[in-house]
Amino acid sequence: MCPDCEDFARTVLLLGQLALYADMVGADLDFVDVVSPSLAVSLPEPPPGTFPDDSAPAEDS
């Protein structure tokens, strides 16, 4: 697996696990609020071939 692919997959996995944790009873939502934006910002560009060629990312106008 290419280094960027591994980083992307690991970060997506962590975001998913954090989302599951946030839904648990007794979850520390302050922790979730602090960590989730940091993980999202650290998400690298998706590796080539992650999305179909005909899908274009939404661009801000």
- The DSSP symbol for 43 reads P
The candidate with the shortest Cα–Cα distance to 9, out of 41, 50, 54, is: 50
Query: What is the pLDDT, as a whole number, of residue 56?
Result: 58
The mean pLDDT of 29-50, rounded to a whole number, is 85
Decide which of 25 and 60 is more confident. Answer: 25
The model's pLDDT over 2-30, given as tens digits with 9 standing for 90+, comes to 766 788 888 889 999 999 999 999 999 99
Q: Which pTM does this prediction carry?
A: 0.68
Query: What is the pLDDT, as a whole number, of residue 59?
Result: 59
